[in-house]
Structure 1
Amino acid sequence: MMFAPTRYLLVVLLLVLLGGCIATITCPAEDWTQFRGPGGQGHSDAAMLPLTWSETENIAWKTPIAGDGWSSPVVAEGKIFLTTATAIDDDADKARSLRALCFGADDGQILWDREVFRQAGEGVQMHKKNSPASATPVIRDDRLYVHFGPSGTACLTTDGEVVWKTQELKFKPVHGNGGSPVLYNDTLIVTCDGGDQQFVAGISATTGDVVWKTDRRADVRKGFSFSTPTLIEVDGRTQAVCPGSGAVVAYDCETGRELWHVDYDEGYSVVPRPVYANGLVFVSSGYDSASLYAIDPTGRGDVTDSHVRWTIDKGVPKTPSMLAVGGELYFVDDGGVASCVDATSGKLHWKKRLGGKYSASPFYGGGRIYFQSETGTTTVIEPGKTFVELANNEIGEDDRTFASFAVIDDAILLRSETHLYRIEE
């Protein structure tokens, strides 16, 4: 008489264990903690991202954002963070309040809005495609790091309280600031490439003190650039790969010492973040005519002639970053021509005009690649050596969209000129 209840209890226990396994398998995607997501490579592990949307389809919420800013959203523990710059005194002298904002992920409501710095308007140069708040924040645990170029860098709690602020790093940006910070252990690394001086710096993430500062080595006519470092591990050591005018340089993250560099003559205004895949670093040389460099990062010193594995001179982006998926490298140039090449050889698989102009960087998630134009049109394609378009989506607003996508759970976050969208099926 005891057998049936025992068997019943075993079945219940098995179902509970299976339920735990299923819960583990379907856990939320990892947080989107920096520009281009975890690792900075434009990859999301979300499995069920939306394929199609419009202004009235698959929009979970849409929240207005005051001010100007092209920082991309970052996400942690159900909260969304970004920066903006609002006018002071009715924009009388173009002075700006530089602010950090936090949104609830479920409903898009603003949880807090904190002024971090004020930027005087006199003498500020700003390109029409830039803003005073273009650098994407970095988030780790309960700390949010925001960077506004020479106007200052700061650490806040995720509840909006300022931990530290520094304005020690001074330079004169041309067209505004743009490069986003990255975190290596306790060091916040930023590129500072102005018209007057160019350097890379490491800031203590705990205190805000500048722990190292390394001058750029390239001697070029136009020194200004807007790059975001990419951290890679080579032979057990982490390198900060930092493109700038005239050269891309890899630095030791702990000391700022230069490890290797590749020269590309007078290339300037470099924006795309480097991509690391298949043992190679992929870099765009910027204006006036961009070239794509595939670099083996195992060398030391000047490796221009020894470690560049291949180059491409046509269809290379000056603003959007590239994307590596499997053995292929994908990119779209500023004029809307997308390309797919073999990552190890540079062999062209396909080239396709998507239409429109592009500044945002593509990303990969749910087995698809998403390209976002400057007017909010998103082309979704299937990865592969043949071009296969899956969807073409518009948000229906007459807004510019220069910020790159972010991902939260199985939803896409899109920042337009005036709103933040959560797109979700």
Structure 2
Amino acid sequence: MDRKFISRILGVLACMLTVLGAEGNDWTQFRGPGGLGKAEQASDLPTTWDSKNNIVWKCDLPGPGTSSPIIVGNKVFVTCYSGYGESIDAPGNMDDLKRHLICIGRDSGKILWEKKFKTEQPESKYSGANNTRHGYASSTPVTDGERLYVFFGISGVYAFDLEGTELWKTMVGTGIHNWGCATSLLLHEGRLIVNAHVESQALIALDTESGKEVWKVDGIIKCWGSPMLVDAGSRKEVVLTIPGSERNKPSNIKAFDPATGKELWHCEGPSDSYLCSSVVSHDGIVYVIGARKASALAVRAGGEGDVTGSHILWSVKYGSNVTSPVYVDGHLYLFHEKGTAVCLDAKTGEALFEEKLEPAAGLVYASPLVADGKLYVSSQDNGTYVIDAKPEFKLLAVNTFEDDPSRVNASIAVSKNQLIMRTDKAIYCLGK
């Protein structure tokens, strides 16, 4: 056999192995691969930790934030803010508000580079029980492995290379809301999809190379969930839930063509004017979680037009106020804002357990992670709960950092059989 041919084959195989290895260790968007909150290949993850045990490294941050860390190669990326809104009692001067983009060495835990951004003004005021619960760095970055994209509300969408060189910046609107800006970005085939419901009441797709607008869908109002990509078999769909105009009005679940923004189908969703959760999907079924009224439903993707009467599979009175659900092994797990864990049969919606987390969790804003047969969900102030990922409720551990009582809103990431977790003060790498 030709040596050159053999050499080429070996080269291709080596490249494939490299890519597969990178994919296995990368966590490139909000809630990881597919936005599903799952690390299916992870193993030997820690069940317990504290300020002295099972910490591989800790990296102090220059300010708080709600965005989750993402990982690509040997880099961890996260955003935070400083200068204003770090304390309810003394928020400071809004003109001093800065956003930060930080790159941390995956194995060392050392800051490799940092970017600071002056904020467009006026921003939403840091007061009351509104954006004080999450602040000014809530959108999780996303990466395609070559570029890094971040979203800072009225201050715009930025693209960087992985060494921190700014490539472009695009403004997506000037609107503000007392709840602030919190939705995360979605990448698909050269499109960066932005839920700019606060800034311009629109869903916008930007070209990843230039930052120029490719398409725009208007009428996206009070839609706090991040857009999610759903595999409908014959096509991909971008799905999100738009709340009703009033509390008793049904929401509208909509699917769009990621290439053009054309609406593909819609159906009635939970009746509520306030929805934060992002959808998740499995085998072409979209699972939608309600908010104040605690409702959930399953709808089959791939339809055309109004599919309310044809594609909804079940609807039940269970839900979560802020967190997004997670699907695993035929079950859907939900965690309500007030610290209740629920397991539903994903085929029927039947509740298999509903348990109050003890000791009391308080507020829960972080979405759950399932990995290594365990569910990880962090409360804001009372620790991370580790639960057996089975339809019989079993609490395995509650973990806190005695030396870091700061708030936790971010969802946990996974890399190299270790957990990457952020609090308002620091990023932690947790492992055995």
TM-score calculated relative to the size of structure 2: 0.86
Q: Where in structure 2 are the equivalents of 1:260-275 lying within 5 Å?
A: 260-264=265-269, 267-275=272-280
Q: In the TM superposition, what is the alpha-carbon distance from 1:284 to its structure 2 partner?
A: 1.9
For 2:25 and 2:273, the matched residues in 1 are separated by 35
* Alignment correspondent of 2:3: none
Q: Where in structure 2 are the equivalents of 1:397-412 lying within 5 Å?
A: 397-412=404-419
* Alignment correspondent of 1:133: 137
Is the contact made by 2:62 and 2:82 (CA closer than 8 Å) also made in structure 1?
Answer: yes
Q: In the TM superposition, what is the alpha-carbon distance from 1:123 to its structure 2 partner?
A: 5.2
- AA matched with 1:420: I
For 2:49 and 2:196, the matched residues in 1 are separated by 38
Deviates more, 1:381-390 or 1:35-44: 381-390
* Alignment correspondent of 2:36: 41
For 1:300 and 1:271, the matched residues in 2 are separated by 25
For 2:123 and 2:217, the matched residues in 1 are separated by 28
* Alignment correspondent of 1:352: 355
1:208 aligns with 2:211: yes
SS at match of 1:340: strand
- AA matched with 1:206: E
Is the contact made by 2:123 and 2:176 (CA closer than 8 Å) also made in structure 1?
Answer: no
For 1:155 and 1:361, the matched residues in 2 are separated by 26
1:248 aligns with 2:253: yes
- AA matched with 2:32: G
Q: 2:306 aligns with which of 302, 313, 318?
A: 302
Q: In the TM superposition, what is the alpha-carbon distance from 1:27 to its structure 2 partner?
A: 5.8
Larger radius of gyration: 1
SS at match of 2:154: helix
Q: Where in structure 2 are the equivalents of 1:8-23 lying within 5 Å?
A: none
For 1:361 and 1:123, the matched residues in 2 are separated by 24
SS at match of 2:389: coil
* Alignment correspondent of 1:70: 66
* Alignment correspondent of 1:179: 183
SS at match of 1:119: coil
For 1:209 and 1:328, the matched residues in 2 are separated by 40
1:191 aligns with 2:195: yes
Q: In the TM superposition, what is the alpha-carbon distance from 1:85 to its structure 2 partner?
A: 1.6
- AA matched with 2:205: G
Q: In the TM superposition, what is the alpha-carbon distance from 1:124 to its structure 2 partner?
A: 4.2
Q: In the TM superposition, what is the alpha-carbon distance from 1:168 to its structure 2 partner?
A: 3.8
- Percent identity (aligned): 32
Would the alpha carbon gap of residues 345 and 176 (structure 1) be closer, same or farther in structure 2, given more than 3 Å must change?
same
Q: Deviations over 1:324-366 (max 9, x none)?
A: 0011111111111101111010011111111312110111111
Q: In the TM superposition, what is the alpha-carbon distance from 1:376 to its structure 2 partner?
A: 5.2
For 2:64 and 2:424, the matched residues in 1 are separated by 7
Would the alpha carbon gap of residues 122 and 49 (structure 1) be closer, same or farther in structure 2, given more than 3 Å must change?
closer
- AA matched with 1:224: K
Is the contact made by 1:278 and 1:343 (CA closer than 8 Å) also made in structure 2?
Answer: no
For 1:166 and 1:81, the matched residues in 2 are separated by 20
Is the contact made by 2:271 and 2:293 (CA closer than 8 Å) also made in structure 1?
Answer: no
For 2:419 and 2:93, the matched residues in 1 are separated by 37
- AA matched with 1:234: A
The alignment's C-alpha RMSD in Å is 2.3
Aligned residue pairs: how many?
395
Where structure 1 has 5 or more consecutive residues not aligned to the other structure, the ranges are 1-19, 218-222
* Alignment correspondent of 1:373: 379
Is the contact made by 1:96 and 1:120 (CA closer than 8 Å) also made in structure 2?
Answer: no
* Alignment correspondent of 1:99: 100
